[in-house]
């Protein structure tokens, strides 16, 4: 197991392609200038110590040096000790609606981004509970099984978008049935948090909620959207292309359907929560989790990590010394070896 302590330094890797582009641009410019001033054969005879390959070798060495030095700055760490620890908590599965209606912006920056922000804040407040993630639209897809790895949960959460599920709709029933398979212990409190605008829902959602209740699952629903509603933007390559229209050419207005969400929560003994205020949702769920019985379970984790930056910095400095030591002109002993068949080309 490894950790990256300062991943922000990876941004400096952009220097490598910039240097390569600048190198080839400079070589192209030099060649054009030489052709204007000298004949190619005459130039090779005049500049007899010029190496055709050393500048490229130096470019590779500089790139490798930057790669290892920048990686060293991020301070990679490797886990050295694996231990089993006991924790007490509940199992929470988050089912997030990623249908196109969640791109509506009646709740800024959008319904989907609001849902992701709520889940992220809830995860920040958890200590020893286990989490799982499900994305659904016309179908439900498992993203993250039950785990205590909150960092992984946030990575999957950030990558959620309305293109994740190709089939459109709001198959809440599929999400509920899939979530029920996440829980593997009858003794633990099973919590399902559904974040949706409730629109275009399947009529089977209530029946699925009843099945979940029989398995001991408590569902909390979070309504994301407004009754006033908003248009559904259509984007291509990140740019606004237009707005969704119906078969009659009229612009579609998507509105929050909180009634179905309230019924789903009520069937399982849960609660519907208005999702417009992030802190209110987080506080309500945090208080609800505190009142629940915690199940003890075992998990393994790496408890000790050792810094590995010195290896990367050492290798990076080695390549940097080679870059400085190697001259661009052709050395005599290398010229005698004629490794690149340069003499025959003169």
Looking at domain 89-300, which CATH architecture does it have? 3-Layer(aba) Sandwich (3.40)
- Among residues 60, 152, 136, the alpha carbon closest in space to that of 102 is found at 136
pLDDT at residue number 277: 93
Domain ranges (residues) in the chain: 2-75+308-345, 89-300
The predicted model gives 104-110 an average pLDDT of: 92
Question: Strand pairing of 239-243 and 233-236?
Answer: antiparallel
Long-range contacts of 210-214 (CB under 8 A, 24+ apart): 210/267, 211/176, 211/177, 211/180, 212/176, 212/177, 212/179, 212/180, 212/268, 213/267, 213/268, 213/269
**Helix/strand/coil for 258:** helix
pLDDT at residue number 279: 94
Q: What is the pLDDT of residues 48-58, one digit of tens each?
A: 455 667 788 88
CA 248 – CA 282 distance, rounded (Å): 41
Q: Are 257 and 198 in contact (CB under 8 A)?
A: yes
> What is the pTM for the complete model shown?
0.64
Q: How confident is the model at residue 82 (pLDDT cuts 50, 70, 90)?
A: low
Q: How confident is the model at residue 30 (pLDDT cuts 50, 70, 90)?
A: confident
pLDDT at residue number 6: 85
């Amino acid at each position: 197991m490894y950790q990256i302590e300062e991943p922000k330094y990876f941004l400096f890797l952009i220097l490598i392609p910039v240097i390569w582009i600048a190198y080839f641009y400079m070589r192209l410019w030099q060649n054009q200038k030489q052709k204007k001033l000298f004949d190619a054969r005459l130039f090779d005879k005049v500049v007899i110590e010029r190496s055709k390959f050393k500048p490229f070798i130096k470019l590779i060495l500089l790139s490798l040096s930057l790669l290892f030095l920048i990686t060293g700055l991020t301070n990679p760490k490797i886990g050295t000790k694996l231990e089993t620890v006991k924790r007490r908590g509940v199992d929470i599965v988050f089912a997030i609606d990623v249908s196109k209606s969640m791109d509506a912006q009646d709740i800024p920056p959008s319904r989907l981004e609001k849902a992701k922000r709520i889940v992220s804040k809830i995860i920040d407040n958890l200590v020893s509970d286990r989490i799982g993630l499900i994305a659904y639209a016309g179908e439900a897809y498992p993203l993250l099984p039950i785990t205590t790895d909150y960092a992984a949960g946030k990575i999957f959460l950030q990558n959620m978008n309305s293109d994740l599920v190709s089939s459109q709709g709001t198959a809440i029933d599929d999400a509920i049935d899939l979530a029920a398979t996440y829980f593997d212990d009858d003794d633990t409190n099973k919590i399902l948090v559904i974040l949706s605008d409730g629109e275009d829902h399947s009529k089977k959602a209530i029946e699925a909620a009843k099945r979940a209740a029989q398995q001991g699952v408590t569902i909390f629903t979070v309504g994301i959207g407004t009754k006033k509603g908003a248009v559904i933007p259509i984007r291509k390559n990140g740019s606004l292309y237009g707005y969704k229209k119906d078969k009659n050419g009229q612009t579609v207005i998507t509105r929050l359907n909180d009634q179905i969400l309230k019924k789903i929560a009520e069937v399982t003994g849960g609660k519907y929560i208005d999702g417009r205020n992030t802190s209110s949702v987080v506080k309500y769920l945090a208080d609800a989790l505190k009142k629940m019985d915690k199940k003890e379970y075992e998990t393994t984790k790496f408890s000790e990590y050792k810094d590995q930056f010195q290896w990367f910095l050492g290798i990076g400095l080695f390549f940097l010394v080679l870059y400085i030591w190697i001259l661009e002109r052709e050395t005599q002993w290398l010229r005698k070896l004629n490794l690149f068949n340069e003499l025959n080309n003169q």
